[in-house]
Amino acid sequence: MLQVDILSPQDLSSRDRETWQAFRKATPAFQSPLLGPDFAETVAEVRSDTAVAVWRRGGQTIGFLAHHRRHAGLARPIGAPWSDYHALITAPGETLDTEAALRAAGISAFRFSGLLDPHGLFDGATAADVETYRIAFQDSGEAYWETLRAQSPKRFKNLRRLEHKLERELGAPVLARDTNAPAFEQLLAWKRDQFRRTGLHDVLNPSWSHLLMQRLFRKRSGALQGLLLTLRVDGKPIAGHFGVREGEAFHPWIAAFDPALAAYSPGQTFISEAIRAMPRLGISSYDLAAGSDHYKAPFASEVGTARVGVLRSRSAGPITFDRAADFAGAAFGPAGATAVRRLGRRVDHIAETELTLGGRMQGLAAAIAASSLRFSAEMH
């Protein structure tokens, strides 16, 4: 008989933690720093709506799902939108009726945006696949970079030209781990400015989100830590990545650069220098996750798959943005359908980020304004 415990991440027993880690070790797809109990516990320090569903059968623990519980039993991945990867963590070969498991946990629907499902437990979900990108290699960083250059000589010739231009006009770039608080705050400021300029929702605005970044940045012990890498010229930061590290695996969240130096493409130079520095930094896996394919794909050694969608354990609820997009498409053509789907993704992003009504209303107003401007431009 299937049993389930709903626990706070801090209340997991040492045996549950060991089992969770054993399941991860047995499945390569579960090696991301975002999929362990340490990440769940860190998020629980800044948000009170965290939970872990622990399923057991015959006294044996068989699965873990870390999540946030929202209105009417809707569950989202723990740490969303920072949970670029999430999963129902089980042992290989485990057979679990996932819809029944969600019902037993009081979850009416689990909405996911970067689901890793190596055991096929979400085959019944309404979902689409997205490509993910990772840098991993066994030889030196310089050798791997030369392999990339040989595969795409024109692209990397242009990158080398930009690197030489930057070095000639500004100085030699140096990439290193950075524990300097002003450099960290500068990176966050660049990213927030990017959100404003591009009309994207500022996921660093909620207090819990900013506090999560701060706590991880200051963390200097334990398996899971924040990691800031900066590219400096003449001692001044010009670009950086910040994210979480567990062992030799690094998962950056925030990538930004000084917009005043955009003509030098410092973001491209940063990733080039990061590849060369990986062995020196003790990083064997540099996970770029999904999205921005044009930027990530040329540097990746591995292309994987994650899923975006929802699995419902009960009958469907209100109208979805996909159905609304169909109506908009019939009325306004492809541009109308695209605008509604884009707005739907933005609204969902706001819902998983903002915990207050005021924050959601402010984000929604900005989303509608941005969508209206884009739609008007596309129609003309």
SS3 assignment, position 319: coil
2-7 and 50-57: which strand pairing? antiparallel
Indicate whether 198 pLDDT > 70.
yes
Which spans in the chain are helix H? 14-26, 37-44, 98-104, 141-151, 153-169, 181-198, 207-218, 266-281, 293-296, 321-332, 334-353, 357-379
* Percent of residues, the chain, with pLDDT higher than 90: 76
The band of 364, judged by pLDDT with boundaries at 50, 70 and 90, is low
Please state the domain extents for the chain.
2-131+305-312, 137-283, 321-379
Pair 259, 198: CB distance under 8 Å:
no
56-91 pLDDT, tens digit each: 999 999 999 999 988 889 999 999 999 999 999 999
The band of 328, judged by pLDDT with boundaries at 50, 70 and 90, is very low
Q: How far apart are CA 88 and CA 255, in angstroms?
A: 28
The band of 259, judged by pLDDT with boundaries at 50, 70 and 90, is very high
Fold of the CATH domain 2-131+305-312: Aminopeptidase (3.40.630)
pLDDT at 105: 97
The band of 352, judged by pLDDT with boundaries at 50, 70 and 90, is low
Indicate whether 288 pLDDT > 90.
yes
pLDDT at 139: 86
SS3 assignment, position 156: helix
Indicate whether 316 pLDDT > 50.
no
Q: How far apart are CA 107 and CA 310, in angstroms?
A: 12
The structure tokens listed for 272 are 């080039």
Pair 59, 2: CB distance under 8 Å:
no
Q: How far apart are CA 239 and CA 298, in angstroms?
A: 19
Q: Is 279 exposed, middle or buried (0-12, 13-18, 19+ CB in 10 A)?
A: middle
Domain 137-283 in the same topology as domain 2-131+305-312: yes
User: Architecture of domain 137-283 in CATH?
Assistant: 3-Layer(aba) Sandwich (3.40)
**92 vs 363, which has greater pLDDT?**
92
φ, ψ dihedrals at 340, nearest 5°: -70, -40
Average pLDDT score over residue span 349-371: 61
